Amino acid sequence: MSVQVSLAGPDVTLGMSGEDAGDIVARSPTALFWRRFREDRVAVASLIFIVVLVIIAVAAPLVVKLFGLPGPYVQNLNLTNAFGEPLGPSAAHPFGVDGLGEDIASRVIYGSRVSLEVGVIGTGIATVIGVIVGLLAGFYRGWVDTVLSRLTDLVLCFPTLLFGIGLASACALNGCFYGLIQPGVPVIIAIVVIFGWTYIARIVRGLVLSLREKEFVEAARSLGASDARIMFREILPNLAAPVIVYASLLIPVNILFEAALSFLGVGVQPPTASWGQMIAQATPIFNIAWWWMVFPGAALLLTVLAFNLLGDGLQDALNPKAD
Amino acid sequence: MNTSIRRRALATVLVLFAAAAALFAYASSHSTTVANGAGLAPAQTGSGENLYNGKRGGTLTVYDSEDFEHLDPGEAYFALDYEIMYATQMPLYEYLPNNSTTVSPMLASGQPIVTDGGKTVTVHIKDDVHFSPPVNRLVTSADVAYAIERGANPNVANPYFIPYFGDIVGAAKATGGPIAGIVTPNATTIVFHLTQPTAILLEGALSLPITMPVPESFAGPLDKDKPTQYGTSSEVFTGPYMLESTAAGKFLGLGYQPGKSATLVRNPNWNPKSDPAPAYLDRININIGGASQVIGLQVLKGSDSVQNDTPTNANVELAYTKYYKQLYAVPGAGDHYVSLDNAKGVFSNVNIRRAAYAALDRAAMVKVAGGTIVGEVATHFITPGSAGFTQSGGLAGPKYPWNEYPDGNLTVAEKYMKAAGYPSGKYTGSQSVKIVGSDNGNSPEEAAIVKDALTELGFNVKLVLVDQSVMYAKYCGVPAAEVDACPEVGWIRDFADPQTILYVPFWGPAITPTNNSNWGQVNNPQINAAMVAASQVVNPTAAADAWAKVDDMLVDQAVAIPWIFDDQPNIESANVRGINDLWDVGEWDYGYTSLDNP
């Protein structure tokens, strides 16, 4: 039996010839990640769902046209009965219509835009802020850590939903901060950012506190690396996995937060389609117009579930030892 | 999470959701027998009902999702409050439940006597009406005088004292003490001296709760508190019912628990010979709170109960199709309109207002409000059942091009946009239009229709929906908020005088910096002058004509866009013989309501 070794690069392949030959392949961390991720069919299905959702959201006008649906803001009161109540699913309107005769399938499709905007953009900005705050607090410790940690605790004390309702109401007509934050989706993103960075900051701070004591940090320091280089070139790459996992779990939380604000009437304003707002409008007539609540509710459920399962899958793939 | 556990969890969640959705769809499967667009036969209106063939006894349960605002006759100015007031007190005059145009003497012994060219009004009162315990004694004219005078007390702050009683000599500067223009020469006579010949207005105002007698010996000490404790914790009554109270007259905690319940019991000192109300019921239990949709189903399928709120569209339809005899749609319940800012912004241009009026699909707004059962398309501002309605053109309204198309007409609208200086027929300016609507009930859809119409005219519209109380208190009722349009403002007449419909919402000097009810800040000198002139017309027929002319001017100037003459839907249980007050947006009249099997 002979052993063939190729040392050409990262993809090191060790092969064994002979009757008992089998390939033992050493892979890069990325390759390992994908292999473990691919094995998790639930996570893959969730990822596919999210990718399709993003495509639908981005190409919403095209999707609506492709299915032959009317636009989300096209009112048609001929599709309501004599009491102003909407008619149910039909061939022309597979998800039925709402109280203004607007097509619900179309509005569910457009509603994905709001959910993804708030979920992804809000989480993205909150993540950046949280990572920076956590990094600075954990690395410098001392008074920097004290100030930033107390600030984090202070923001955590705020009743998020109540404050969100108040801020959204106050900014509803003319926006806030001299028009810097406009009513509608920008206000909700601002609320998500203001309150969303704290959890990531805490997690990152804890990780940085332990990473800063590692030998590679000491080695970098002894080679004369600046604090900024150590933080962003040495420590930050090691935070990527947990931050990505946490951010992916934060997205559905923020999607639900937007739905809750819209349900309470302080989120996205009509006629902009929002799943939470559609559920709120359907509530008084839930017993006779079930479609108005069920379809946006299903979309919300499946989206939140997909992100949660994706986050779970990412955690397993990035950190299998956690099992 | 272990993959197989995750898979099982996912499968479980999806199966549960699918099952819930299927159960939901099955449970709510609903086929309406009312085809889309089919004309509906009218619901019962309550008019023409026999008021006097009920059976005595029993307890009525009233479900009310809203709480009362005031139970003091000097402060009450809300339809729900009036239900309690008129069941427990006797004003000088009152409309019978099935009559919304002519008052009947209640505490008064006859019609008011007008002399001195309309500047003096004399009223004689009955001599056999007593207060409830602990006061017990006979009601005198001094009690009526005190009741009106305390309206000027800042601790009471009656909201309509100045508009309706301000012409009484000395009233403009009154602060709660005796008013020179209110004289009581004897125990059963009260005389009002006016600074102007506005007797017609005062006569109508004598049906308001402020004329319900109040004993100064009992209420005086309570009126020293700010706000007064009379009607907040304690009160005495003159009507067939009273709030259940202690021997000292305190009802708070017993007959009224804020946010929870109220209980009306028989007034032991009530004299049935001096009150036309038969007062069949022994007791009325009012439950406060709950979701309107659920309450409605409870009432329709239950017994001995009525709903005090506007039922949801779904329950109106259910009642109409399956419980027809338990549904009433009472006409003359006020109107709703889209207020337009006449003072600033794009709508300060009369032609743009006319364009918006023409473009709006008012029929669609009525449909989303609940259809023809709950109202008709409005074409002017004086409401059905009020003097001046017919003279204003009735349901068809004044003949102006922008008023001719209830479904909206973009061609006519564009014509007025061109007249406003936009040759393309669409707005090309840079100003955006701010609309603030209510997020309650059907209001979001109504606001969306208004937004749609303005968008078709080229406007960039910002729509915000807030709670109704916030809509009025923070936006529409505050001129400084600079809201261009409020789609769901509404008005209910105070009594059957068109002045009570047009004066406060459209008279320029009535504009206030807060709590403003002239939501469009209408301040047209010609209209103001016409209103002042109409208010001084003594002859009722001529007065109705004068106010109809004012109404016509309001439509001509498109100061606002009226869109519905409201009919109030009410529902009751099968064994309830409910009587609606046609003059008070159809609120239940407990003095005449009875049970079939008490």
- Rounded to an integer, what distance in angstroms lies between the CA atom of residue B444 and that of residue A282? 12
**pLDDT (0 to 100) of residue A110:** 96
Tell whether B480 lies on the interface with A, counting CB pairs under 8 A: no
Contact across the interface for B35 and A82, Cβ inside 8 Å:
yes
Question: Inter-chain contact A40–B451, Cβ cutoff 8 Å?
Answer: no
Q: What is the pLDDT of residue B398?
A: 97
Is pLDDT of A2 > 70?
A: no
Q: What pLDDT does residue B6 have?
A: 66
Report the distance separating Cα A269 and Cα A182, nearest Å: 12
Q: Rounded distance, CA B586 to CA B98, Å?
A: 10
A285–B466 C-beta distance less than 8 A: no
Q: Residue A322: pLDDT band by 50, 70, 90 thresholds?
A: very low
From first CA to last CA, the distance across chain B in angstroms is 64
Strands B283-288, B59-64: pairing kind: parallel
Residue A27 scores a pLDDT above 80 = no
Please report the pLDDT score of residue B31 as a whole number: 41
* CB contact (8 A) between residue B292 and residue A284: yes
Which residues, 6 or more positions from A125, have their beta carbon under 8 angstroms from its beta carbon?
A189, A193
Between CA A263 and CA B484, with CA B466 as vertex, the angle to 5 degrees is 135
Other C-beta atoms lying within 10 Å of the C-beta of residue B6: 19
User: What distance in Å separates the CA atoms of residue B442 and residue A174, rounded to the nearest whole number?
Assistant: 24
pLDDT tops 50 at residue A115: yes
Supply B248's token pair.
């000292």
* B473 SS3 class: helix
The dihedral sign for the CA sequence B368, B373, B374, B379:
positive
- Chain A contact for B7, CB < 8 A? yes
> Is the CB of residue B315 less than 8 Å away from at least one CB of chain A?
no
**Which of B437, B530, B540 has the alpha carbon at shortest distance from B203?**
B540
Q: Is B478 at the interface with chain A, CB within 8 A?
A: no
CB contact under 8 A, A75 and B293: no
Q: Is the pLDDT of residue A190 over 60?
A: yes
Report residue A203 CA to chain centroid gap: 17
pLDDT tens, position by position, for chain B (598 residues)? 556 666 666 767 777 767 766 766 665 554 444 444 446 777 888 777 788 889 999 999 999 988 898 999 999 988 889 999 999 999 999 999 988 888 999 999 999 999 999 999 999 999 999 999 999 999 999 999 999 999 999 999 998 898 899 999 999 999 999 999 999 999 999 999 999 999 989 999 999 999 999 999 999 999 999 889 999 999 999 999 999 999 999 999 999 999 999 999 999 999 999 999 999 999 999 999 988 888 999 999 999 999 998 898 889 999 999 999 999 999 888 999 999 999 999 999 999 999 999 999 999 999 999 999 999 999 999 999 888 999 999 999 999 999 999 999 999 999 999 999 999 999 999 999 999 999 888 899 999 999 999 999 999 999 988 888 888 888 999 999 999 999 999 999 998 889 999 998 999 988 888 888 899 999 999 999 999 999 888 888 999 999 999 999 999 999 999 999 999 999 999 999 999 998 888 889 999 999 999 8
Q: Tell me, what's the pLDDT at A202?
A: 94
What is the pairing mode between strands B375-376 and B560-566?
Answer: antiparallel
Determine which of A174-183, A268-277, B267-276 has the lowest per-residue pLDDT on average: A174-183
Is residue B362 less than 8 Å (CB to CB) from chain A?
no
Q: Please give, rounded to a whole number of angstroms, the shortest distance from the CA of A90 to a CA of chain B.
A: 14
Q: Looking at residues A278-301, what average pLDDT do you find?
A: 90
A83 and B21 within 8 Å at the Cβ level: the answer is no
pLDDT at B115: 94
Q: Is the ipTM of this complex over 0.85?
A: no
Q: Do A287 and B30 touch (CB under 8 A)?
A: yes
State which H helix or E strand residue B305 sits in: strand B305-307
b/e map B179-214, b = 16+ CB within 10 Å: bebbbbeeebebbbbbeebbbbbbbbbbbbbbbbbb
- pLDDT over 90 at A5, yes or no: no
Which residues, numbered 370 to 429 in chain B, qualify as contacts with chain A under a Cβ-Cβ cut-off of 8 Å?
370-373
Torsions phi, psi for B55 (to 5 deg): -110, 145
State how far residue B117 is from chain A, nearest Cα, in angstroms: 51
